[in-house]
């Protein structure tokens, strides 16, 4: 673009697509000065298939339409969809069962192991009296009524 008037011209370019970016987005041209702005495609963000996008140039009120064709997506890994128990083929590789990807830099964590036995869901009755046994607290008291059946474990002195 070229500034054709007698005064400096402030200009800007805006792109209407996230996968396009201009070589310069704004500036000021002195009278008679020119600048070339190139619009580039970010191929990592470009959509697959045919696309079109607009680039606006101010203050000229010009709009340029850019068209392109992005590549079809190519899977870099085997299809992540779960397979049925009898399914031994992959849609992208019929008759081939892919080996699992080794991951030496990111080992998988094993399932967490409990650090202590889970508390019982209800207190065991005292074999001789059928009543709950004391908690073993400093005063030998039993839990308040209602707590024994709540499923919430009580602290014990052992």
**pLDDT means over runs of 10, the chain (158 residues):** 92 95 96 95 94 94 93 68 56 50 48 51 52 48 48 49
Q: Which of these, 128, 15, 123, 129, lies nearest to 63 by C-alpha position?
A: 15
Q: Is residue 101 part of a domain?
A: no
Q: Is residue 45 part of a domain?
A: yes
CB neighbours of 141 closer than 8 A, spacing ≥ 6?
134, 135
Provide the number of structural domains found in the chain.
Answer: 1
Q: Is residue 120 part of a domain?
A: no
Q: Is residue 105 part of a domain?
A: no
Q: What is the DSSP string of 78-124?
A: S--S---TT---BTTBTT--PPPPP-TTSPPPPPPPPSSPPPPSSPP
pLDDT for the residue numbered 87:
53
Q: Is residue 97 part of a domain?
A: no
What's the pTM value of the predicted model, to 2 decimals? 0.45
pLDDT for the residue numbered 77:
65
Domain with 15, as residue range(s), is: 9-70
Q: Is residue 135 part of a domain?
A: no
Q: Is residue 89 part of a domain?
A: no
16/65 Cα distance (integer angstroms):
10
In angstroms, how far is the first alpha carbon of the chain from the final one?
85
pLDDT for the residue numbered 144:
52
4/33 Cα distance (integer angstroms):
8
| Burial class (CB within 10 angstroms; exposed 0-12, middle 13-18, buried 19+) of 74 | exposed
């Amino acid at each position: 673009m070229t500034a054709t008037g007698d005064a400096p011209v402030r200009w800007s370019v805006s792109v209407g697509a996230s996968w396009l970016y201009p070589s310069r987005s704004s500036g000021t041209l002195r009278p008679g000065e020119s600048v070339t702005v190139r619009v580039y495609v970010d191929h990592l963000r470009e959509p697959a298939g045919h696309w079109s996008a607009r680039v606006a140039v101010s203050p000229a009120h010009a709009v340029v339409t850019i068209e392109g064709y992005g590549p079809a997506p190519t899977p870099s890994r085997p299809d992540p969809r779960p397979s049925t128990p009898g399914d031994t083929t992959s849609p992208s590789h019929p008759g081939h069962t892919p080996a699992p990807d080794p991951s030496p830099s990111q080992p998988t964590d094993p399932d967490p192991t409990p650090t202590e036995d889970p508390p019982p869901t209800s207190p065991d009755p005292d074999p001789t009296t059928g009543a709950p046994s004391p908690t073993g607290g400093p005063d030998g008291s039993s839990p308040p009524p209602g707590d024994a059946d709540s499923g919430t474990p009580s602290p014990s002195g052992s």
